[in-house]
Structure 1
Amino acid sequence: MAKTAEIVTAHNVVIQYEMAPIMSRVVASVLDLVIVGFYIFLISILVSALMFSSFRWNSDFGVEMLIFYLLCLPGFFYSFWMEAIFAGQTVGKMAMGLRVIRSNGENASIGDLFLRWVFRFIDLTGSIGALGIVVALSNERSQRLGDLVGNTVVIKLRPTNEFSITDILNIKSSKDYEATYPTIVQMTDEDMLLIKNAMERLKKNPNDAHKDLVRQLAQKTSDRLGMAEVPEKKLTFLKTALQDYIVLTRS
């Protein structure tokens, strides 16, 4: 079963994230390692060609090795600068649909990512990944030491229980249907998917966080529709609004 975590943002909005599976993170790391290895291999060929093209090995060897190490720096800092530039993603994470964010749901800062990168040498390099895996398996948010110190988590961008617009189109509709909230068409597919996901999560796990999320969505939806107040039966209101949206946008 996938690990999930409910994160309360700075605006007191509860968002549920699915933590990245350990195997997905391992595969992402292997892909990144292959990329870094290939880069260093190319640099090695380049520097070797430079050395063989020069017959002054004794005098130029130190300079050429310095050039080699300098050119290897992008590979050494690969995961740090990639995550800093691409909002918490490396090529491996992009391929696996993963992303690093702060524990409060915000984008990870440069400082967070740097701390995470520094502890990579303890989590991954020093123990060939064993320590990182053990620590990640031992806590609810699958955080390795670098994540715990940097206050970050790795999330799955496409959750296992994510619904697509095709799913909500399967909801019952009728040609003679009379919409209760006809102005719901101003909402987007993404808005309605968020509502449907929230209702499904509440159905599967009726805890306070999910109830609060449904209340917030009901409030925001009623505001968008220009209603004076939120209907008392918020779940029924959202279900009706969702049904209205599907019927009206399919016709």
Structure 2
Amino acid sequence: MQTISVRTTQNVFIDYPIASLGDRILAYLIDSLIQFAYIALIFYALYKLDLDSVALNVAIITLPFLGYHAVFEILMGGQSPGKRQMKIKVVRMDGTSPTIGNFLMRWLFRLVEIFLLRGAIAIITIAANGRGQRLGDVVAGTTVVKVVPQSASDTVFTIHDENYQPVFAEVMKLTDYDVELLQQALVANRDHGNNRPVDYASEQVKRYLGIESDMPPVKLLYTLIKDYSFYTSQH
């Protein structure tokens, strides 16, 4: 499976799989449903308001529709509602977060690839180049990755013990994304023998949570993830 190394805010590189064509199509369909729902609501609202300005009516309908992906990807860090639902996101090929310019470049080419050519060129390009890039991605230097493990076999742990006793109550300060990064650090250690993400994540999370522990880094991260899973399962 093709992967790309993504640099986190802690300057740790973690390998993420390239998003599949199927995931991207499903994300597009979800976003399209949201867009068409918006248009239907706006048509109804404009009908009730009975505005005289044709230009204003057209702008209210078309501008949010055309700018949907650019606005959401900029505001949501590389995701639209559809992409978030499918757990995929836009990243630069060098692993860093895309700039506003990158998002706008992808958006400009989207107008041609998706709206004018009905997605044919985008599908062919994504399927052909092996790096998950449509033409807009190639020009912008971006691709789309899967941000969570794709199957249960990719996860680091599963809690089967109903009597498990959590160790660190402070773990609830973390978010789902934080815990995902801890898990990816463990995956890097398990699959590639790369200790750096685990060591770095261990120090950072201890400092952030304000905890002191003599546990080895790997054991500490396992424990924190299991604690988080335990507490969140209780809600």
Q: TM-score, normalised by structure 1?
A: 0.65
| RMSD of equivalent CA atoms | 3.7
Provide closer, same or farther for how the CA distance between residues 199 and 35 of structure 1 changes in structure 2, counting only shifts above 3 A. Answer: same
User: Aligned to 1:138, what secondary structure does the other structure show?
Assistant: helix
Residues in 2 aligned to 1:104 and 1:10: alpha-carbon distance in whole angstroms: 14
Q: Does 1:196 align with 2:192?
A: no
Higher mean alpha-carbon deviation, 134-143 vs 109-118, is at 134-143
- Write the distance in 1 (CA, Å) between the matches of 2:48 and 2:221: 67
| Deviation string, structure 1 residues 68-113 (Cα, Å, up to 9, x no partner) | 1221211220111011111111111111111112222222211110
Report the counterpart of residue 158 of structure 2 in structure 1: 166
- CA separation of 1:125/1:219 partners in 2, compared to 1, >3 Å: closer, same or farther? same
Q: Deviations over 1:8-47 (max 9, x none)?
A: 6899744211111111110111111111112112222232
Partner Cα separation in structure 2 for residue 49 and residue 218 of structure 1? 58
What is the aligned residue count? Answer: 202
CA contact (8 A) 2:5 2:95 kept: no
Structure 2 CA distance for aligned equivalents of residues 105 and 87 of structure 1: 13
Q: Percent identity?
A: 27
Which residue pairs with 1:69 in the alignment? 58
Match of 1:141 among 131, 134, 138: 131
Gapped regions of structure 1 (runs ≥ 5): 55-59, 171-184, 203-210, 225-236
Cα contact 1:195–1:238 (8 A) shared by 2: no
Cα distance change, pair 243–126 in 1 and its aligned pair in 2 (3 A): closer
Give the aligned partner of residue 216 of structure 1: 196
**What 5-or-longer segments of structure 2 have no aligned partner?**
162-167, 205-215, 231-235
Q: CA contact under 8 A between 2:4 and 2:95: conserved in structure 1? A: no
The structure with the largest alpha-carbon Rg is 1
Partners of 2:104 and 2:222 lie apart in 1 by: 48
In structure 2, distance between residues paired with 1:127 and 1:199 = 44
- 1:25 matched residue in structure 2: 24
**TM-score between the two structures when normalised by the length of structure 2:** 0.69
